[in-house]
Amino acid sequence: MYLLIFILEMKGEQYTLKDLAKALNLSVSTVSRALRNHPDVNEATKKKVQQFAEEVEFQKNPIASGLRKHKTNAIGVIVPEIANYFFSQVIDGIQTIAYQAGYNVLICVSDESLEKEQAITKHLVNSRVDGLLVALSVETNHYEHFDFVNRKNVPLILIDRVTDQVPASTITTNNYEASFEAVEYLIHQGHRQIAHIAGPKGQTITRQRLQGYLDALKKHAIDIQEQLIESGGYTQEGGEACAKSFWTLGEKPEAIFAVNDRAAIGAMRFFKSVGVAIPDQMSIIGFNNNPMGEIIEPNLSTIVQPQFEMGASAAQLVLEQINQEEYTHQHLTLPSKLAIRKSTL
Protein backbone atom coordinates (compact mmCIF):
# COMPACT_ATOMS: atom_id res chain seq x y z
CA MET A 1 0.00 0.00 0.00
CA TYR A 2 2.86 2.37 0.80
CA LEU A 3 4.40 1.84 -2.63
CA LEU A 4 1.06 2.50 -4.34
CA ILE A 5 0.54 5.74 -2.40
CA PHE A 6 4.11 6.78 -3.18
CA ILE A 7 3.64 6.15 -6.91
CA LEU A 8 0.39 8.13 -6.96
CA GLU A 9 2.00 11.04 -5.13
CA MET A 10 5.00 11.05 -7.45
CA LYS A 11 3.03 10.65 -10.70
CA GLY A 12 4.44 12.96 -13.37
CA GLU A 13 7.58 13.73 -11.33
CA GLN A 14 11.21 12.89 -12.13
CA TYR A 15 12.37 10.19 -9.72
CA THR A 16 15.73 10.33 -7.99
CA LEU A 17 17.70 7.61 -6.26
CA LYS A 18 16.58 9.11 -2.95
CA ASP A 19 12.94 8.75 -4.00
CA LEU A 20 13.43 5.09 -4.87
CA ALA A 21 15.25 4.43 -1.61
CA LYS A 22 12.51 6.12 0.43
CA ALA A 23 9.75 4.15 -1.31
CA LEU A 24 11.52 0.82 -0.86
CA ASN A 25 12.80 1.57 2.66
CA LEU A 26 16.37 0.93 1.53
CA SER A 27 19.54 2.98 1.61
CA VAL A 28 20.50 5.06 -1.43
CA SER A 29 23.73 3.08 -1.83
CA THR A 30 21.82 -0.23 -1.84
CA VAL A 31 19.41 1.03 -4.51
CA SER A 32 22.31 2.36 -6.60
CA ARG A 33 24.16 -0.96 -6.42
CA ALA A 34 20.99 -2.93 -7.20
CA LEU A 35 20.37 -0.86 -10.33
CA ARG A 36 23.95 -1.58 -11.41
CA ASN A 37 23.42 -5.31 -10.73
CA HIS A 38 26.21 -5.26 -8.15
CA PRO A 39 27.07 -8.69 -6.68
CA ASP A 40 26.98 -7.30 -3.10
CA VAL A 41 23.17 -7.01 -3.30
CA ASN A 42 21.10 -10.21 -2.97
CA GLU A 43 18.96 -11.26 -5.91
CA ALA A 44 15.62 -10.66 -4.20
CA THR A 45 16.51 -7.05 -3.41
CA LYS A 46 17.89 -6.47 -6.92
CA LYS A 47 14.67 -7.77 -8.45
CA LYS A 48 12.56 -5.65 -6.12
CA VAL A 49 14.52 -2.47 -6.90
CA GLN A 50 14.74 -3.04 -10.66
CA GLN A 51 11.05 -3.87 -11.04
CA PHE A 52 10.01 -0.81 -9.07
CA ALA A 53 12.41 1.41 -11.06
CA GLU A 54 10.85 0.11 -14.27
CA GLU A 55 7.30 0.74 -12.97
CA VAL A 56 8.03 4.37 -12.18
CA GLU A 57 10.13 4.81 -15.37
CA PHE A 58 13.19 5.83 -13.38
CA GLN A 59 16.02 7.26 -15.49
CA LYS A 60 19.52 8.03 -14.31
CA ASN A 61 20.65 11.62 -14.60
CA PRO A 62 23.56 11.42 -17.06
CA ILE A 63 24.77 14.92 -16.22
CA ALA A 64 24.98 14.24 -12.50
CA SER A 65 26.62 10.89 -13.15
CA GLY A 66 29.06 12.54 -15.53
CA LEU A 67 29.99 15.24 -13.05
CA ARG A 68 30.87 12.59 -10.49
CA LYS A 69 33.19 11.07 -13.09
CA HIS A 70 34.39 14.54 -14.19
CA LYS A 71 32.76 13.91 -17.60
CA THR A 72 29.42 14.93 -19.05
CA ASN A 73 29.58 12.89 -22.27
CA ALA A 74 28.73 16.06 -24.16
CA ILE A 75 30.59 17.78 -27.00
CA GLY A 76 30.00 21.44 -27.82
CA VAL A 77 29.87 22.59 -31.44
CA ILE A 78 29.91 26.22 -32.58
CA VAL A 79 29.23 27.02 -36.24
CA PRO A 80 28.65 30.41 -37.92
CA GLU A 81 25.30 29.35 -39.38
CA ILE A 82 23.29 26.17 -39.41
CA ALA A 83 21.35 26.75 -42.65
CA ASN A 84 24.62 26.67 -44.59
CA TYR A 85 24.84 23.31 -46.41
CA PHE A 86 28.56 23.00 -45.67
CA PHE A 87 28.10 23.27 -41.92
CA SER A 88 25.00 21.06 -41.89
CA GLN A 89 27.06 18.28 -43.47
CA VAL A 90 29.93 18.85 -41.03
CA ILE A 91 27.45 18.61 -38.13
CA ASP A 92 26.03 15.39 -39.57
CA GLY A 93 29.53 13.89 -39.54
CA ILE A 94 30.13 15.05 -35.96
CA GLN A 95 26.82 13.65 -34.71
CA THR A 96 27.30 10.29 -36.40
CA ILE A 97 30.62 9.62 -34.66
CA ALA A 98 29.67 11.22 -31.34
CA TYR A 99 26.42 9.30 -30.94
CA GLN A 100 28.12 6.02 -31.78
CA ALA A 101 30.48 6.74 -28.88
CA GLY A 102 27.63 7.59 -26.50
CA TYR A 103 28.13 11.36 -26.57
CA ASN A 104 25.54 14.10 -26.91
CA VAL A 105 26.22 17.03 -29.22
CA LEU A 106 25.30 20.58 -28.19
CA ILE A 107 25.05 22.69 -31.37
CA CYS A 108 25.30 26.47 -31.10
CA VAL A 109 25.26 29.16 -33.79
CA SER A 110 27.43 32.29 -33.66
CA ASP A 111 25.61 34.08 -36.53
CA GLU A 112 29.06 35.16 -37.80
CA SER A 113 29.44 37.25 -34.61
CA LEU A 114 32.62 37.35 -32.53
CA GLU A 115 30.64 38.52 -29.50
CA LYS A 116 28.25 35.58 -29.72
CA GLU A 117 31.11 33.17 -30.33
CA GLN A 118 32.84 34.41 -27.18
CA ALA A 119 29.67 34.13 -25.06
CA ILE A 120 28.79 30.66 -26.38
CA THR A 121 32.33 29.40 -25.83
CA LYS A 122 32.28 30.49 -22.18
CA HIS A 123 28.81 29.03 -21.65
CA LEU A 124 29.70 25.62 -23.12
CA VAL A 125 32.93 25.36 -21.13
CA ASN A 126 31.14 26.38 -17.92
CA SER A 127 28.53 23.73 -18.74
CA ARG A 128 31.36 21.22 -18.55
CA VAL A 129 31.41 19.94 -22.14
CA ASP A 130 34.13 17.33 -22.57
CA GLY A 131 35.34 18.80 -25.86
CA LEU A 132 34.69 21.76 -28.16
CA LEU A 133 34.53 21.92 -31.98
CA VAL A 134 34.50 25.38 -33.57
CA ALA A 135 34.31 26.95 -37.03
CA LEU A 136 35.32 30.59 -36.55
CA SER A 137 32.98 33.47 -37.36
CA VAL A 138 33.95 36.01 -40.02
CA GLU A 139 34.41 38.59 -37.27
CA THR A 140 36.80 36.51 -35.19
CA ASN A 141 40.11 38.36 -34.95
CA HIS A 142 40.63 38.06 -31.17
CA TYR A 143 41.17 34.69 -29.59
CA GLU A 144 41.25 35.21 -25.81
CA HIS A 145 38.09 33.12 -25.39
CA PHE A 146 40.02 30.09 -26.61
CA ASP A 147 42.71 30.75 -23.99
CA PHE A 148 39.88 30.18 -21.50
CA VAL A 149 39.10 26.82 -23.17
CA ASN A 150 42.71 25.71 -22.94
CA ARG A 151 43.04 26.83 -19.31
CA LYS A 152 40.07 24.60 -18.48
CA ASN A 153 41.81 21.68 -20.26
CA VAL A 154 38.95 21.19 -22.70
CA PRO A 155 40.14 19.64 -25.98
CA LEU A 156 39.57 22.14 -28.81
CA ILE A 157 39.30 21.36 -32.52
CA LEU A 158 38.99 24.08 -35.16
CA ILE A 159 37.17 23.05 -38.35
CA ASP A 160 37.61 24.58 -41.83
CA ARG A 161 37.87 28.19 -40.64
CA VAL A 162 41.04 27.90 -38.60
CA THR A 163 43.85 30.10 -37.31
CA ASP A 164 47.44 29.45 -36.27
CA GLN A 165 47.00 31.91 -33.38
CA VAL A 166 45.14 29.38 -31.24
CA PRO A 167 46.80 26.29 -29.74
CA ALA A 168 44.36 23.70 -31.08
CA SER A 169 44.02 20.77 -33.43
CA THR A 170 42.57 21.57 -36.85
CA ILE A 171 40.60 19.84 -39.59
CA THR A 172 40.80 21.52 -42.99
CA THR A 173 40.73 20.72 -46.67
CA ASN A 174 43.48 21.39 -49.22
CA ASN A 175 42.32 24.94 -49.99
CA TYR A 176 45.49 26.08 -51.72
CA GLU A 177 45.97 23.05 -53.97
CA ALA A 178 42.27 22.85 -54.91
CA SER A 179 42.18 26.56 -55.80
CA PHE A 180 45.36 26.26 -57.84
CA GLU A 181 43.83 23.32 -59.75
CA ALA A 182 40.61 25.21 -60.45
CA VAL A 183 42.37 28.30 -61.81
CA GLU A 184 44.82 26.23 -63.81
CA TYR A 185 41.87 24.43 -65.40
CA LEU A 186 40.46 27.79 -66.51
CA ILE A 187 43.85 28.73 -67.95
CA HIS A 188 44.05 25.45 -69.87
CA GLN A 189 40.62 26.27 -71.31
CA GLY A 190 42.19 29.36 -72.90
CA HIS A 191 41.17 32.01 -70.34
CA ARG A 192 43.68 34.67 -69.31
CA GLN A 193 41.46 37.40 -67.85
CA ILE A 194 40.47 35.48 -64.73
CA ALA A 195 38.86 37.28 -61.79
CA HIS A 196 38.66 36.10 -58.20
CA ILE A 197 35.83 36.70 -55.73
CA ALA A 198 37.69 36.41 -52.43
CA GLY A 199 36.39 35.64 -48.96
CA PRO A 200 36.40 37.89 -45.88
CA LYS A 201 39.75 39.51 -45.22
CA GLY A 202 41.78 37.98 -42.42
CA GLN A 203 40.41 34.44 -42.75
CA THR A 204 42.89 31.62 -43.33
CA ILE A 205 40.82 29.98 -46.06
CA THR A 206 40.54 33.35 -47.82
CA ARG A 207 44.34 33.64 -47.91
CA GLN A 208 44.86 30.04 -48.97
CA ARG A 209 42.36 30.16 -51.83
CA LEU A 210 43.63 33.55 -52.96
CA GLN A 211 47.20 32.26 -52.93
CA GLY A 212 46.22 29.26 -55.06
CA TYR A 213 44.66 31.66 -57.57
CA LEU A 214 47.74 33.93 -57.62
CA ASP A 215 50.26 31.11 -57.95
CA ALA A 216 48.37 29.49 -60.83
CA LEU A 217 48.50 32.82 -62.71
CA LYS A 218 52.21 33.20 -61.95
CA LYS A 219 53.00 29.69 -63.13
CA HIS A 220 51.50 30.50 -66.53
CA ALA A 221 53.06 33.97 -66.75
CA ILE A 222 49.73 35.78 -66.54
CA ASP A 223 49.88 39.27 -65.09
CA ILE A 224 48.13 39.74 -61.76
CA GLN A 225 45.60 42.55 -61.95
CA GLU A 226 44.42 43.94 -58.64
CA GLN A 227 41.14 45.12 -60.17
CA LEU A 228 40.27 41.49 -60.89
CA ILE A 229 40.34 40.59 -57.19
CA GLU A 230 37.34 41.62 -55.06
CA SER A 231 36.40 40.59 -51.52
CA GLY A 232 32.75 39.54 -51.55
CA GLY A 233 32.61 37.41 -48.45
CA TYR A 234 30.75 34.11 -48.43
CA THR A 235 27.32 35.36 -49.50
CA GLN A 236 25.36 35.31 -52.72
CA GLU A 237 24.82 39.05 -52.43
CA GLY A 238 28.57 39.58 -52.11
CA GLY A 239 29.24 37.51 -55.21
CA GLU A 240 26.64 39.48 -57.16
CA ALA A 241 28.21 42.80 -56.10
CA CYS A 242 31.69 41.66 -57.13
CA ALA A 243 30.46 40.49 -60.53
CA LYS A 244 28.78 43.85 -61.07
CA SER A 245 32.07 45.59 -60.22
CA PHE A 246 34.04 43.40 -62.62
CA TRP A 247 31.57 44.23 -65.40
CA THR A 248 32.32 47.93 -65.14
CA LEU A 249 35.98 47.36 -66.05
CA GLY A 250 37.26 48.37 -69.45
CA GLU A 251 38.87 44.96 -69.98
CA LYS A 252 36.31 42.57 -68.61
CA PRO A 253 37.10 39.11 -67.22
CA GLU A 254 36.52 35.95 -69.22
CA ALA A 255 36.27 33.68 -66.20
CA ILE A 256 35.74 33.84 -62.43
CA PHE A 257 36.96 31.67 -59.59
CA ALA A 258 34.88 32.28 -56.46
CA VAL A 259 35.76 31.54 -52.82
CA ASN A 260 32.58 29.48 -52.43
CA ASP A 261 29.51 28.38 -54.34
CA ARG A 262 27.17 30.97 -52.90
CA ALA A 263 29.41 33.78 -54.15
CA ALA A 264 29.70 32.01 -57.52
CA ILE A 265 25.90 31.67 -57.77
CA GLY A 266 25.56 35.37 -56.98
CA ALA A 267 27.93 36.15 -59.84
CA MET A 268 25.94 33.91 -62.19
CA ARG A 269 22.73 35.70 -61.25
CA PHE A 270 24.25 39.07 -62.14
CA PHE A 271 25.65 37.95 -65.48
CA LYS A 272 22.35 36.37 -66.47
CA SER A 273 20.59 39.64 -65.61
CA VAL A 274 22.77 41.57 -68.08
CA GLY A 275 22.52 38.96 -70.81
CA VAL A 276 25.98 37.40 -70.47
CA ALA A 277 25.92 33.76 -71.61
CA ILE A 278 27.47 31.20 -69.27
CA PRO A 279 29.81 29.56 -70.17
CA ASP A 280 30.07 30.97 -73.72
CA GLN A 281 30.98 34.46 -72.54
CA MET A 282 31.85 33.80 -68.90
CA SER A 283 33.17 30.65 -67.19
CA ILE A 284 32.60 30.33 -63.43
CA ILE A 285 33.96 27.94 -60.80
CA GLY A 286 32.89 27.86 -57.15
CA PHE A 287 34.09 26.02 -54.06
CA ASN A 288 32.40 23.53 -51.66
CA ASN A 289 29.73 21.79 -53.79
CA ASN A 290 26.54 23.42 -52.53
CA PRO A 291 23.49 21.44 -53.83
CA MET A 292 22.14 24.65 -55.41
CA GLY A 293 25.04 24.43 -57.85
CA GLU A 294 23.53 21.32 -59.42
CA ILE A 295 20.03 22.81 -59.59
CA ILE A 296 20.79 26.10 -61.33
CA GLU A 297 21.34 26.29 -65.09
CA PRO A 298 23.99 25.87 -66.17
CA ASN A 299 25.21 23.55 -63.42
CA LEU A 300 28.07 25.10 -61.46
CA SER A 301 31.59 23.73 -61.70
CA THR A 302 33.05 23.55 -58.20
CA ILE A 303 35.54 22.12 -55.74
CA VAL A 304 33.94 19.18 -53.92
CA GLN A 305 34.92 19.20 -50.24
CA PRO A 306 34.63 16.11 -47.96
CA GLN A 307 32.26 17.92 -45.59
CA PHE A 308 30.81 14.92 -43.76
CA GLU A 309 34.29 13.42 -43.41
CA MET A 310 35.61 16.69 -41.96
CA GLY A 311 32.98 16.58 -39.24
CA ALA A 312 33.51 12.87 -38.58
CA SER A 313 37.29 13.34 -38.38
CA ALA A 314 36.89 16.25 -35.98
CA ALA A 315 34.60 14.21 -33.72
CA GLN A 316 36.94 11.22 -33.77
CA LEU A 317 39.90 13.42 -32.94
CA VAL A 318 38.19 15.21 -30.04
CA LEU A 319 37.04 11.87 -28.59
CA GLU A 320 40.62 10.61 -28.69
CA GLN A 321 41.85 13.72 -26.92
CA ILE A 322 39.08 13.56 -24.31
CA ASN A 323 40.33 10.12 -23.32
CA GLN A 324 44.01 11.09 -23.19
CA GLU A 325 45.57 12.90 -20.25
CA GLU A 326 48.23 14.32 -22.56
CA TYR A 327 48.08 14.76 -26.32
CA THR A 328 49.73 16.75 -29.09
CA HIS A 329 47.73 18.95 -31.43
CA GLN A 330 47.08 17.38 -34.82
CA HIS A 331 46.47 19.17 -38.10
CA LEU A 332 44.53 17.07 -40.61
CA THR A 333 44.08 18.17 -44.21
CA LEU A 334 41.51 16.21 -46.20
CA PRO A 335 41.60 16.18 -50.02
CA SER A 336 39.07 17.94 -52.25
CA LYS A 337 38.46 17.41 -55.95
CA LEU A 338 37.50 19.54 -58.94
CA ALA A 339 34.07 18.79 -60.43
CA ILE A 340 33.65 20.19 -63.93
CA ARG A 341 30.05 20.92 -64.93
CA LYS A 342 28.38 23.20 -67.46
CA SER A 343 29.37 26.64 -66.09
CA THR A 344 32.87 26.34 -67.55
CA LEU A 345 33.86 26.23 -71.19
> Do 220 and 111 belong together in one domain?
no
What is the pLDDT of the chain when averaged over all its residues?
91
Residue 342 forms part of a structural domain = no
Query: pLDDT tens, 53-87?
Result: 888 777 665 555 554 456 789 999 999 999 899 99
Regarding whether 91 and 36 lie in a shared domain, the answer is no
- The CA–CA distances, whole Å, from 226 to 198, 217, 220, 222, 251 equal 12, 13, 17, 13, 13
Note whether 163 and 179 are same-domain residues. no
Residue 100, by phi and psi: left (phi above 0), alpha (psi -120 to 50) or beta?
A: alpha
Residues 139 and 255 grouped into a single domain: no
Do 213 and 281 have their domain in common?
A: yes
Query: For residue 188, what are the CA distances in angstroms to 98, 194, 219, 255, 341?
Result: 44, 12, 12, 12, 16
> Pairing state of beta strands 337-339 and 302-304?
antiparallel
Q: How many CB atoms lie within 10 A of CB 4?
A: 8
Q: What is the number of alpha carbons within 13 Å of residue 313 lying toward its C-beta?
A: 19
Euclidean distance between the first and the last CA atom of the chain, given in angstroms as a whole number: 83
- Polymer length in residues for the chain: 345
The three-state secondary structure class of 296 is coil
- Structural domain including 273 reads 175-305
User: What are the tens digits of pLDDT across the range 146-155?
Assistant: 999 999 999 9
User: For position 255, what pLDDT does the model report?
Assistant: 98
Higher pLDDT, 10 or 95: 95
Q: What pLDDT is stored for residue 8 in this prediction?
A: 40
Instruction: Assess if residue 202 is contained within a domain.
Output: yes
143 shares a domain with 154: yes
The proportion of the chain whose per-residue pLDDT surpasses 90, expressed as a percent, equals 77
- Given this model, what pLDDT does residue 60 score? 62
> Do residues 240 and 324 share a domain?
no
Contact of 116 with 139, CB cutoff 8 Å: no
User: Where residue 269 sits, what CATH number does that domain have?
Assistant: 3.40.50.2300
| Domain-embedded: residue 105 | yes
Amino acid letter, residue 160:
D
Count of domains observed in the chain: 3
Confidence (pLDDT) at 34: 86
